[in-house]
Amino acid sequence: MTVKDAGRAARPAGRAPAKRSPAGDPGQQADSPELIQLLTPEGERVEHPDYPLEISAEELKSLYRDLVIVRRIDFEAIALQRQGELGIWASLLGQEAAQVGSGRALTPRDMAFPTYREHGVAWCRGLDPMKLLELFRGVSHGGWDPTEHNFHLYTIVIGSQTLHATGYAMGIQRDGAVGEDGEAVIVYFGDGATSQGDVNEAFIWASVNNSPVVFFCQNNQWAISEPLERQSRVPLYQRAHGFGFPGVRVDGNDVLACLAVTRKAMQAAREGQGPTMIEAFTYRMGAHTTTDDPTRYRLSAELEAWKLKDPIERVKQYLIRSQQAEMSFFDEVEAEATRVGARVRAACLEMPDPEPLSMFDDVLTEETRQLAAERAGFAAYLDSFVGEEVAR
Amino acid sequence: MTTLTLSRALNEGLRKALEDNPKALIMGEDVGKLGGVFRVTDGLQKDFGEARVIDTPLAESGIIGTAIGLALRGYRPICEIQFDGFVFPAFDQIVSQLAKMRYRSLGSVRLPVVVRIPFGGGIGAVEHHSESPESLFAHTPGLRVVACGDAADAYTMIQQAVRSDDPVIFFEPKRRYWDKAEVDVDGGLAAALPMDQSRVLVPGTDVTVLCYGPMVRTCAEAAVAAQDDGRSLEVIDLRSLAPLDTATIFASVRKTGRCIVVHEAVVTGGIGAEIAAQITQECFYSLESPVLRVGAYTTPYPPSRLEEHYLPDLDRILDAVDRTFGY
Amino acid sequence: MSDLKEFRLPDVGEGLTEADIVRWLVHPGDQIAINQIIVEIETAKAVVELPSPYAGTVADLLVPEGATADVGTPIISVNVGAGGEDTPRAAAPAAAEAAVPQEARAQREISDAEDLVPAPPAEGAPVLGATVLGATEPGMVGSPAPKAERQAVLVGYGVRLGTTSRRARKPSAAAAPPSAPAVPAAPAASAAPAAPVNGASGARALAKPPVRKMARDLGVDLSALAGSGPGGSITRDDVEQAAGSGGAPAVPGISGVAIVTPAAGAREERIPIRGVRKHTAAAMSASAFTAPHVTEFLQIDITETMTAAARLRQLPEFADVRVSPLLLVARALLTAIARHPMVNSSWDEAAQEIVVKRYVNLGIAAATERGLIVPNIKDAHAMTLPQLATALAQLAETARAGRSTPADLSGGSITITNVGIFGVDTGTPILTPGEAAILAFGQVKDAPWVIDGELAVRKVCTLALSFDHRLVDGDLGSAVLRDVGAMLTDPLRMLAWS
């Protein structure tokens, strides 16, 4: 399924959604002067006085490669779900630039707190995509060590991770790790999450403590079926001002703008200037998850309009027009993406189920006697069935 | 040995914890400058500084959520929830995040967070200041839940809680904050009873009385009164509600054949219910009578003019003792 | 070579239990690639495109357009064998390298780009710390793909459908409760074996609460009993047996009724009906009023048997066992049963069947201090005479000591009652419930007898056989009685008939 097919994935069932979201209309706020952009949808390079960006051809091609591979993994995962290999998948289709741009702005020592859709950030951090598939296949709840790639586990409760990130940033302060070479935290959340109490509490804590945390909001215009106007009367980036720290809106489909804005905000945090909110103005091209049916609540015309702002297409156009890449480069990237997709597929199909007794592992740092007894009892129970071998 | 109130014992224990653990932090509403509404953290901010004793915004979920973040960064946060009834905004962070994150990470993450909660009633307060929500947490796998019953235990258990690598919900009987006891402030933790074990407070032969927190003193007093009835109560301070020290409980019940569980919490679905089920299963052949529970009625906490009827007291406990001999 | 795979209709997560096939985008014979869109299905709400999990040649479209298929139904079969390697003209770009899943596993070559992707585990290396599953086909065994056994819901794999049959369990599966009552000093089986921290573990008697109550009601001191239940716990039977032995004088034949001296002036004594008395009354009533009893009598000259018994006692085989006339009566009855098996049977009213037993569990009525009980010797038919003698002696001793177990007391197939020890000639015995016949053996005494036309003094006794006329008619009953009499008159007959 390519981007062009995304809109054909589901035909409207003949029922118009209740209302059309003005916030989702790319024609409106996207033109407002506050939307930071460095690469137009047509692939033209533009400058912004606050965000000078020097970027080499190699870096550009590398970003392009990231975008394509991230989209390919996402596509493969949707297909796997449609084939019954994953229970569910939350697609990032359309949000690749926001995630890759911000993800590549981080230094290795920065810490990232995702929600459950940041597969592109996971890619940038070097986390094995199979760990994500494990979660959606039901093999684990994530199960990776956050310190290995400085990428926290996926948090499914909406907005909770903003507090974790803020607390982590408070820890950085107490470690004295704030400074030019310091560390900072980025936390991801969506437009819907900005309504959650925890997110607002995080804004309070980060601001009164002046903590080194960047709040990266991917405003993809929809929280399942609810459009932005159900979440806020004001543009989201302006919320930060109410809490006393800067907020900025960036074109979430512009990988260069996301890169530049995030770099600057992270550096400010590192140096002790406190939090920033970045609102990446983007669009959720797919469904909320594979169990969602967007045709029930939004018009395909909206989708069609956003297709014209595809994050990957504009980078390709720019690379071609500026002659920073040969056509063979695009073929190579495509081939590599196909290989990656096939590997993801193969690894998913081979993924074994966890052993039943592993259910009892890692509840506490020291197993209680009660749990040990339950574990033993369950092992004996499993063993009592004809033909069943007790797992080790 | 020093005579200390329970509140002061906690204060001393927290002080020791901050001294022994450079990564230990205290955080909560009014814990810094004021020293806590019960003075449990009195003087600590002055001595350890604002970076380690933090006056937080008025946001319970924020307290626990940021504590989780600090723990991920390597700190040992000791959170205070000002009153039992105000833990609920933080309930999601506690059960969805604090309890589960180790399991979610297959053991990579550990969250050595202590959540101190003054609990229980009998202090003549308005709504939400007299709750006993401990069974909600004991029912949540991934948490340790303890309750101190006297100053001596408060002193050691708070230190043990801070040292634990697991999240600990630490219940403090607020109506006993001013009770005094002898505390061995110089005795090290090595000799102290582990946090996950119960203590036989009063040895006895006729009936096992299980209790924790504010009811420990009440049950000890009941044991004295029971002597006049010619009955020997064995009073056990459970101390640990999750996990339960079933070895101690079962040994006692097998000896006496009778058991009563006493708590301020509502009887329905309380800790006593779990204990009764386990005793019935494991000590069935030793029982002379069913396990009885003495606790609050299944109503919201009443206005304080009625609370003495609502909460268990010495007479209700001995009434249960009478009933257990009626089988 | 054909290698046919089927793709089963998955739950695409929209609450599907079924879907309509709207339009096939491929035809049999087409080459297809992995993830190529092959079909449009319509759910209750929208049309969804399904990507193929296989590369290969389409063999069959198993569900036609317009038809409805349940989730889990195969909808297409694809030949992934030899035809699968050709580059398909697929809508998906660069599908050439999208090989079949099995082959994809083999294709993990290192390429330049690979170090930028986290390296997948090496061939054969454990994946996720466990062994790799063999099955790689979606929708097949081993994959989490929802099969028909799950009910689709909107989120996740769906709810497993119910079943109405249990999984088979091994024979040793615990019927016993997981923790048998612990011997007092040890903690329960399910707790870790830590020594109790506080409180001594006293050696209290173990008994279920209802048994404790029964003991209290019967005036039995539990601490004085040894329990025959699990873990040494005291059972109801233990209590009942102990209940009778509360100080009554050991007069044989007088059942376990405590003799109560009436208070001065009282005209009546009231004795509670409980324990063995209660049980006996119930059994007798049930038997007497269910089975039509007929009793036949035979007086016999038992002199030869008495002589035989005395001679047997001299034999070394019988050096350590008691040889009583009862032993030979038992042996005679067992022989008679072999000749007339129907007498060793029971009437199964519920099943409307007569159960003829091919074994003899020989019950011997015993009068004990607690009352009348009928323990039986299992498989007496298979015993040698010395074995039978030993069994009889043990039975008597156990009964006298009040230690007959419930197993001893059940499962009998025929009974002998020795009324002779009470000093009477005969009686009309009542059948043990569930049996068809009972033989009463009266006292042996000197009496005048006619032998070869002349008067003589012989040892004489009377045999009485009561039988259940539902399944034993007069001719059979008489035959059995006659045979027993004949064998006891002339013990050599026992030899001839065995």
pLDDT at residue C278 greater than cutoff 90: no
Do the Cβ atoms of B247 and A144 come within 8 Å?
A: no
pLDDT band at C156 (very low <50, low <70, confident <90, very high): low
pLDDT band at C89 (very low <50, low <70, confident <90, very high): very low
Q: Which of A269-278, C272-281, C385-394 has the highest mean pLDDT?
A: A269-278
Cβ atoms of B58 and B37 within 8 Å: the answer is no
Rg (CA), chain B: 19
Cβ atoms of B275 and B262 within 8 Å: the answer is no
pLDDT, tens only, A224-240: 999 999 999 999 999 99
Instruction: Tell me which chain C residue has its CA closest to the CA of residue A82.
Output: C12
Mean pLDDT of chain A: 91
Q: How far apart are alpha carbons B215 and B134 in whole angstroms?
A: 14
Task: Say yes or no: A166 contacts chain B, CB-CB below 8 A.
Answer: yes
The residues of B annotated with a catalytic role in the active site are 129
Fill in the amino acid letter for A4.
Answer: K
Question: Exposed, middle or buried: residue C296 (CB in 10 Å: 0-12, 13-18, 19+)?
Answer: middle
Instruction: Tell me which chain B residue has its CA closest to the CA of residue C231.
Output: B285
**Cβ contacts from A onto B, under 8 A:** 143
Tokens, residue C419: 């009324």
C-alpha B56 chain-centroid distance: 24
* Low-confidence winner among C112-126, C139-153, C335-349 (lowest mean pLDDT): C112-126
Phi–psi pair at C177, nearest 5 degrees: -60, 150
- Residues of chain A with pLDDT > 90, as a percent, come to 86
Query: Is C279 one of the annotated active-site residues of the chain?
Result: no
Mean pLDDT of chain B: 97
Cβ atoms of A358 and C128 within 8 Å: the answer is no
Tokens, residue A174: 């107490």
What does the pLDDT read at residue C229? 87
What does the pLDDT read at residue C84? 41
Q: How far apart are alpha carbons C391 and C380 in whole angstroms?
A: 9
Q: What is the 3 state secondary structure string of A106-133? A: CCCCCEEECCCCCHHHHHHHCCCHHHHH
Using omega within 30 degrees of 0 as the cis cutoff, is the peptide bond preceding B167 cis? no
Instruction: Please name each of the domains of chain B with its CATH number.
Output: 2-183 (3.40.50.970), 199-324 (3.40.50.920)
pLDDT at residue C45 greater than cutoff 90: no
Which residues in chain C have Cβ-Cβ distances shorter than 8 Å to B252? 196, 198-199
pLDDT band at A292 (very low <50, low <70, confident <90, very high): confident
Burial A369-384 (b: 16+ CB within 10 A, else e): bbbebebbeebeeeeb
Looking at CA atoms only, how far is residue B53 from chain A in angstroms? Answer: 12
pLDDT at residue C113 greater than cutoff 70: no
Which of B201, B244, B249, B254 is the best mutation test for C, with the most CBs of C within 10 A? B254
What does the pLDDT read at residue C131? 26
Q: How far apart are alpha carbons A130 and A121 in whole angstroms?
A: 14
Which residues in chain A have Cβ-Cβ distances shorter than 8 Å to B57? 201, 204-205, 208
pLDDT, tens only, B225-251: 999 999 999 999 999 999 999 999 999
Task: Say yes or no: C181 contacts chain B, CB-CB below 8 A.
Answer: yes
pLDDT, tens only, C188-220: 333 333 333 333 344 688 998 989 989 988 889
Do the Cβ atoms of A139 and C128 come within 8 Å?
A: yes
- The stretch C112-116 carries a mean pLDDT of 34
What does the pLDDT read at residue C448? 95
pLDDT, tens only, C283-292: 888 888 889 9
- The stretch B254-272 carries a mean pLDDT of 97
Q: Tell me the β-bridge partners of A151.
A: A112
pLDDT at residue A16 greater than cutoff 60: no
- The stretch A117-139 carries a mean pLDDT of 97
What does the pLDDT read at residue B6? 97
Q: How far apart are alpha carbons C95 and C86 in whole angstroms?
A: 10
pLDDT at residue C268 greater than cutoff 90: no
Q: How far apart are alpha carbons A324 and A64 in whole angstroms?
A: 12
Q: Which of A7-21, B90-104, C335-349 has the highest mean pLDDT?
A: B90-104
What does the pLDDT read at residue B294? 98
pLDDT at residue C88 greater than cutoff 70: no
pLDDT, tens only, B86-126: 999 999 999 999 999 999 999 999 999 999 999 999 999 99
Which residues in chain C have Cβ-Cβ distances shorter than 8 Å to A355? 130
Q: Which residue has the tokens 């600990």?
A: B168
What does the pLDDT read at residue C11? 76
pLDDT at residue C2 greater than cutoff 90: no
Do the Cβ atoms of B70 and A141 come within 8 Å?
A: no
- Residues of chain A with pLDDT > 70, as a percent, come to 90
pLDDT band at C270 (very low <50, low <70, confident <90, very high): confident
Q: Tell me the β-bridge partners of C24.
A: C39
Tokens, residue A51: 């965000």
pTM (two decimals): 0.71
pLDDT, tens only, B167-189: 999 999 999 999 999 999 998 89
What does the pLDDT read at residue C349? 86
Beta-strand runs (E) in B227-275: 233-237, 240-242, 259-266
pLDDT at residue C181 greater than cutoff 50: no
- The stretch B259-267 carries a mean pLDDT of 98
* Low-confidence winner among B41-45, B191-195, C43-47 (lowest mean pLDDT): C43-47
Q: What is the 3 state secondary structure string of chain A? A: CCHHHHCCCCCCCCCCCCCCCCCCCCCCHHHCCCEECCECCCCCECCCCCCCCCCCHHHHHHHHHHHHHHHHHHHHHHHHHHCCCCCCCCCCCCCHHHHHHHHCCCCCCCEEECCCCCHHHHHHHCCCHHHHHHHHHCCCCCCCCHHHHCECCCCCCCCHHHHHHHHHHHHHHHCCCCCCCCCCEEEEEECHHHHCHHHHHHHHHHHHHCCCEEEEEEECCEECCEEHHHCCCCCHHHHHHHHCCCEEEEECCCHHHHHHHHHHHHHHHHCCCCCEEEEEECCCCCCCCCCCCHHHCCCHHHHHHHHCCCHHHHHHHHHHHCCCCCHHHHHHHHHHHHHHHHHHHHHHHHCCCCCHHHHHCCCCCCCCHHHHHHHHHHHHHHHCECCCCCCC
Do the Cβ atoms of B198 and C194 come within 8 Å?
A: no
Do the Cβ atoms of B65 and A163 come within 8 Å?
A: yes
- Residues of chain C with pLDDT > 90, as a percent, come to 44
Instruction: Tell me which chain C residue has its CA closest to the CA of residue A69.
Output: C117
pLDDT at residue B154 greater than cutoff 50: yes
